[in-house]
Amino acid sequence: MRTNNRALIAVACFAAIAAAAVVIVRHQGRNSSDPLVEVIPPNGILTTEVVADALQLHIDARGLTLVFPNCDVSKYQDKFFLHIYTVSKRVRALSDMVNLDFYLAQEKAKESTTNGIRSCVYHKNFSDFRPKEVSLGQFTMPNGRCCNVTWSRTFDFSENSLIGRP
């Protein structure tokens, strides 16, 4: 019996989006060591539709993991910003931010296969930083001027909970 790969991919993406929605809705009472999962379509445009080439974002107090179904990173070529804030917003200074900006093309991926679907996994460890808040997204620098943010998400680790917001 031959399986339709497109149907499998669509079902996997739908399941990931549904799981992300459940995780986001149930964020109250979460421990900051529990991962938050979110699906980010190309250009970060929120949608209720199944997006086959969307990245899956997993974040917790230990680090960030990006998963790309079918290892297709072609729509995520813009530079990623990853800013870790170690103190609360009220007393934040520039020295309280750890800048881990990166280009995906310069990162090493780990390939995995689940249910016949290949994916590439990228991990950014937060080391010994104790994040209070993490900002993640992509940006461009048109004409060398900073910054045109393509999409962004902010994750709040305060009060021992983890909350994500666009």
- The least confident of 32-36, 37-41, 101-105, 121-125 is 32-36
Give the model's confidence band at 56: pLDDT under 50 very low, under 70 low, under 90 confident, else very high: confident
100 C-beta neighbours (distance < 10 Å), count: 18
Cβ–Cβ < 8 Å for 151, 40:
yes
CA distance 75 to 80: 12
Contact 137/147 with Cβ under 8 angstroms? Answer: no
Is the pLDDT at 43 greater than 80? The verdict is no
Cut 0.85: pTM above it? no
Q: What is the mean pLDDT of residues 64-89?
A: 86
Residue (of 133, 136, 128) closest to 161 by Cα position: 133
Task: Please tell me the least confidently modeled range out of 6-15, 97-106, 147-156.
Answer: 6-15
* pLDDT score at 162: 59
Q: What is the pLDDT of residue 32?
A: 40
Name the CA dihedral angle for 142, 147, 153, 158, rounded to a multiple of 10 degrees: 170
